[in-house]
Structure 1
């Protein structure tokens, strides 16, 4: 079975998704109104069919929103203002936005079915295989998964609750993207003092991500009272090197949430409660 998909809008990720859907025999529409010449070239290169927004919405079985996160609600609002909701079209909100924003989009587009989706990985070109995480009503989620069967986009259904896919994406992004920023400023600080090669030697000794070693969460909580001041000195180092120091200050402020648990071995749940600002009482008090 082939479907008609309205793509909002063909950036580097969206156009690559559109190409995958086209390869499966689906018709993929896009709206050129207000879009750049670069967007137009991407759309033409992968064979997307131009259509004005009202016609795009009326023709589409699925609307796939892959746009800059800041524009996600505006894009959904443009669809809602057409007054064509409730036609049976499925709206896939696949941008990196908060669960609450996805819910606002779902409320705005009701009674149209909205699927919460999130892309983890690079655009599906050159052999790269991203994962499209999905959450929402089961029948419609399965239909979206079927659209990408046999393509270089893998799908993974998380459950029936709106917000699960978006929460997973932002939770991962909060580590994966910020860790790259931290790597840049750390390398910059070392380079300022001529010790960048030694820094890389130290870093190469660890090959696993701390994100998969959750037992480090309570260990970090127990050491926070010592690590906080150390990071304040790291902030001073970065400032002296002419580099941004705000991330170090923010990390020290975060560690201060654990100050009341000095050298105390909490479990993961207890450490997270303290991190959220909830006081953790000693079992013996």
Structure 2
């Protein structure tokens, strides 16, 4: 039986861990320093707690890091201090350059470092996200095998570390930024009393995030995670000589919603918050 460690059981991490558990893996998580919400999610999904990171690293064959992108390197550094000897998968929305940093941190001790990227919502009966993997062939295949037959669809990409991260951020740069732009456009129309006319225009198009106004508060509530992700997307664009201004600007907009962490407001509150610049 493969022993899998999840860092950490947020909404995505707990659900992904549960899918591996359903396929026969023993799934552990580190309870030290985690919130009551994390502990409740882990309990609900049947994940087994370890006392601390030392115990987790000592017992696990594979560790998957699923955390806000702003914390990805910090989490990897903590694992590196434990001289973890197994397979380490960073499945966060980070730039290939950030992924390379993590590889450098862990390569001295880890059996392998695998680049991972989750595209889609947390897995459930109705939702089947993809888990893209790149890096050393055999370790990537080992990780993929943990999820075969589950609601997480593993896809191994050819090429080394950075491929999965680049794919995730290429998708992110459109999917998340377009929702930010739709919200800003609606806010501008609302300020001038023409929001219904704007929606009427948008409905004539085949698809438009502008017609999905119910998603604006959800975007605001997720801004604390999405802003660092778009900063990583900007870094990825810059590394290949592409303009970063759109990603940076979208991240700046999201940062105005940072205080709404995981608390979807009423749409009026979300729009009002856009008028308030964060304190420097």
**TM-score, normalisation: structure 1:** 0.70
User: Contact 2:125 / 2:151 at 8 angstroms: preserved in 1?
Assistant: no
Paired position in structure 2 for 1:177:
176
Q: Which protein has greater RCO, CA pairs closer than 8 Å, 6+ apart? A: 2
Paired residue for 2:93, among 93, 96, 109? Answer: 96
Secondary structure at the counterpart of residue 100 of structure 1: helix
- DSSP-derived class of the 2:157 partner: strand
* Structure 2 residue aligned with 1:55: 55
How many residues align? The count is: 212
Aligned partner of 2:195 in structure 1 is: 196
Relative to 1, partners in 2 of residues 1:157 and 1:208: Cα closer, same or farther, differing over 3 Å? farther
Write the mapping of 1:16-31 to structure 2, written as runs, cut at 5 A: 16-31=15-30
1:44 aligned residue: 43
**Which secondary structure state, in structure 2, belongs to the residue aligned with residue 91 of structure 1?**
strand
Aligned to 1:130: 129
Q: Within 5 Å, which residues of 2 pair with 1:80-91?
A: 80-83=80-83, 85=84, 87=85, 89-91=86-88
Instruction: Give 3-state SS (helix, strand or coil) of 2:82's partner.
Output: coil
Cα distance in structure 2, aligned partners of 1:115 and 1:160: 11
Compare CA radii of gyration and give the structure with the larger one. Answer: 1
> d(CA) in 2 for partners of 1:173 and 1:245?
25
Map 1:93-172; keep pairs closer than 5 Å. Answer: 93-111=90-108, 112=110, 113-172=112-171
Residue deviations 1:20-61 (CA, integer Å, cap 9, x gap): 111112100011111111111111111111112112111111
Would you say the 8 A contact 1:115–1:137 is kept in 2?
A: yes
Map of 2:71 onto structure 1? 71
In the alignment, what sits opposite 2:266? none
5+ residue gaps, structure 2, are 209-271
TM-score (norm 2): 0.71
Where does the alignment leave 5 or more consecutive residues of structure 1 unmatched?
210-240, 247-285
**1:187 and 2:197 equivalent?**
no
Superposed displacement of residue 194, structure 1: 2.5
- Shift of residue 198 of structure 1? 2.0
Summarize deviations over 1:155-194 as a string: whole Å, max 9, x none: 2222121111111111211111111111111111222223
> RMSD of the alignment, in Å?
2.1
> Does 2:27 correspond to 1:8?
no
Shift of 1:245: 11
3-state SS of 2:27 partner:
strand
Q: Supply the distance in 2 between the matched residues of 1:77 and 1:41 (Cα, whole angstroms).
A: 26
> 8 Å contact 1:185–1:244 — kept in the other structure?
no
Q: Any idea what the Cα deviations from partners look like across 1:121-155, whole Å, max 9, x if unmatched?
A: 10012411111111111111111111100100112
Alpha-carbon deviation of 1:62?
A: 0.4
SS of 2:121's partner is coil
2-structure distance, mates of 1:110, 1:7: 19
Give deviations 1:67-117, integer Å, cap 9, x for gaps.
11111111111111112x4x3x11000011111111111111014211001
How many angstroms apart in 2 are the aligned matches of 1:99 and 1:48? 30
